[in-house]
Amino acid sequence: MSDHRIDEDKRATLRRFAAFGAASPLVGLGASEGADAESDTTSDARDAIVGYVASTPGAHFSKIRDDLGLGTGETQHHLRTLLDDDVLVYRRDGDYKRFFPADRFSAFEQVALGYLRRRTPRGMLVELLRSPGASGSALADRLDVSRATISGYARELDEAGVLSREGAYAVERPETLLTLVVRYADSFGPDAAALADDADSLLEYDP
């Protein structure tokens, strides 16, 4: 593939993700005051990051960089600008910084989205939304992981306020969790998409 084709593919990707957030007032803030002097690629990249985070809240740095085909320094520069301009905010999640549109999500929703972006915790939450009270052994079987892995994540989710371990495992604020899964199902894995398809039969929610 020629460098020209790579550049065109990158531009198409950036424009596609910028369009995702076109309905949000945040996207217009994605460019700096000197936007008239910026190259089209720079403006596209910044708007694409805003649109990408709007459609994939809780994404971490490497995910944003790789999915948009940006360079490390380029991504760092634009994220720093967007954070300084209060367009985006981030929340620490272990070694990750997870990015969110500013003033869009509560602290609980940010934490929940961070766990929904991780395969095993997401699988646990999805299974518990579908089958409340499922045992650790049942979750381990369904997710094809060890019982110790389930126990470790259950403890972590409990400490984060997303899961209760009193008696049977139970998702905290299940309506909120289900709404997040449904709204952003396309940005999660197939397990979340399948749950979104069955959402009406599981819980009442108000997106």
Q: What is the pLDDT of residues 2-54, one digit of tens each?
A: 555 556 777 777 777 777 654 555 444 444 444 444 555 567 888 899 999 99
Q: Give the residue among 173, 147, 178 at the shortest CA–CA distance from 162.
A: 173
Q: What is the pLDDT of residues 85-95, one digit of tens each?
A: 999 999 999 89
Task: Indicate the pTM of the whole model.
Answer: 0.82
Mean local confidence (pLDDT), 166-195: 91
> All domains of the chain, ordered by start, with CATH?
3-104 (1.10.10.10), 108-202 (1.10.10.10)
Q: Return the bridge partners of 90, or none.
A: 99
Q: What is the DSSP letter of 28?
A: G
Helix or strand (DSSP H, E) at 20: helix 3-20
Can you tell me which residue has the tokens 């009406």? 200
> Phi/psi zone of residue 61: left (φ > 0), alpha (ψ -120 to 50 degrees), beta?
alpha
